[in-house]
Amino acid sequence: MYFLRLIRLPNLGIIILTMVLMRYCIIQPILGTYKLLLEFPFLYFLGLVMSVILIAASGYLINDYFDIQADTVNRPDKVVIGKYIKTDVAYKIYYVMNFCAFGISLYISYKINNISLFVIFPVTAGLLWFYSTTYKRQFLIGNILISLIVASVPYLVVLFDITPVLKNNHEYLMAYNLNFSVIFTWIGAFALFAFLVNLVREFIKDAEDFAGDMLYGRNTLPIVMGLKWTKIIISGLTTFIIIGLGWIFFKYLGYTYVYDSTGNEAERHFDFITFLYFLLLIITPLVILIYIILIATDKQKYTLASKILKLVMITGVMFAVIVRLKFS
pLDDT band at 74, cuts 50/70/90? confident
CB-based contacts of 109: which residues, under 8 Å, 6+ apart?
Answer: 115, 116, 117, 118
* Phi, psi for 228 (deg, rounded to 5): -60, -50
Give the start-to-end residue ranges of the domains of the chain: 2-327
Task: Determine the average pLDDT of the residues in 141-163.
Answer: 96
Q: Which comes out higher in pLDDT, residue 111 or 76?
A: 111
Compute the average pLDDT of residues 81-91: 90
pLDDT-derived band at 260 (thresholds 50, 70, 90) equals low
Query: Would you say residue 83 has pLDDT above 80?
Result: yes
Q: Say what the pLDDT of residue 176 is.
A: 82
Residue 258 pLDDT: 61
Please provide the size of the chain in residues.
Answer: 328
pLDDT of residue 261: 57
Query: Distance between CA 187 and CA 152 in Å, rounded?
Result: 10
CB 52 within 8 A of CB 153: yes
pLDDT value, residue 265: 56
Residue 68 CB: number of other CB atoms within 10 A?
15
Q: What is the pLDDT of residues 181-199, one digit of tens each?
A: 999 999 999 999 999 999 9
User: What's the pLDDT band for 78 if we cut at 50, 70, 90?
Assistant: confident
Mean pLDDT value of segment 21-49: 96
* Plot region of 207 (φ>0 → left; ψ -120 to 50 → alpha; else → beta): alpha
DSSP annotation string for 108-173 = HHHHTT-GGGGGHHHHHHHHHHHHHHTGGGSTTHHHHHHHHHHHHHHHHHHHHHHHHHHHHTHHHH
Task: Point out the least confidently predicted range of 14-28, 160-174, 203-217.
Answer: 203-217
**Whether residue 11 has pLDDT greater than 70:** yes
Q: Which H or E run includes 259?
A: strand 255-259
Residue 237 has pLDDT above 80, yes or no: yes
Mean pLDDT of the 292-313 span: 94
Q: Is the distance from CB of 26 to CB of 323 less than 8 angstroms?
A: yes
Q: Is the backbone of residue 218 left (phi > 0), alpha (psi -120 to 50) or beta?
A: beta
pLDDT at 218: 82
Q: What is the pLDDT of residue 2?
A: 77
Phi, psi angle pair for 86, to nearest 5°:
-60, 145
Confidence of residue 257 (pLDDT cuts 50, 70, 90): low
The radius of gyration computed from the CA coordinates of the chain, to the nearest angstrom, equals: 22
DSSP 3-state assignment of 85?
A: strand
Is the pLDDT confidence value at 217 over 90?
no
Q: Are 230 and 204 in contact (CB under 8 A)?
A: no
